[in-house]
Amino acid sequence: MKAAPQLKATFFRLIFLLIIMISLASCKKNNPVESSLKSETFNKTEKEEIEAFFFIATANVTKSIISKSQIAQQKSSDFTIRELSKKIEINQNQLLHDISKMATKKLIIITEIDATHNKRDLYDLIDANNTDFNKTYLNAMTESLKEQIGLLESISKQTNDKTILKLVLQYLPEQYQILREMQRINYEII
């Protein structure tokens, strides 16, 4: 009689062990709905990568332009250049604010890229003597503005995001205006 309860206990243990093994095996299988949600969540599309690059690159160029303008306000002896650099700083701070706000909405973290290139331009401005400063500043700013204009034009061709296109339409004409003004001043200094 004692063998029957031991046999039943062994049988139930075996059944319980089989149920656990089957449960574990089924847990390891991929749930197709869960897999598709994971891939949609973590895979970036090419459009998202292009937009992320645009936000990061534009923010970095903008920060560089702001720094150069601040240096010009302190170092330049030319009143026209000091006033233009103030105007540029205000414009670029607003652009940086708008870009940062849009990037945050799209969950894009703006990090510095190509920081050594930007620092080299700043060091050149800081090291420039009074006679060469205005020319160095205007040349550096012209290059930075052309880079920024290129980024704005490029994203306008590669995206159909209405908020980004609105940003481009707002700032691109202003950047061209500033570039023309800088080139005019540069010709007057020659």
* Domain locations in the chain as residue ranges: 46-189
Residue 163 makes CB contacts below 8 A (sequence gap 6+) with 102
What average pLDDT does this structure show over 136-162?
93
Predicted pLDDT at 108 = 83
User: Contact 178/148 with Cβ under 8 angstroms?
Assistant: no
Residue 184 CB neighbour total at 10 angstroms: 10
Whole-number Å distance between alpha carbons of 177 and 88:
11
Q: Which fold does the domain 46-189 belong to in CATH?
A: Ferritin (1.20.1260)
Interval 65-98: pLDDT, tens: 999 999 999 999 899 999 999 999 999 999 999 9
Tell me the average pLDDT of the chain: 83
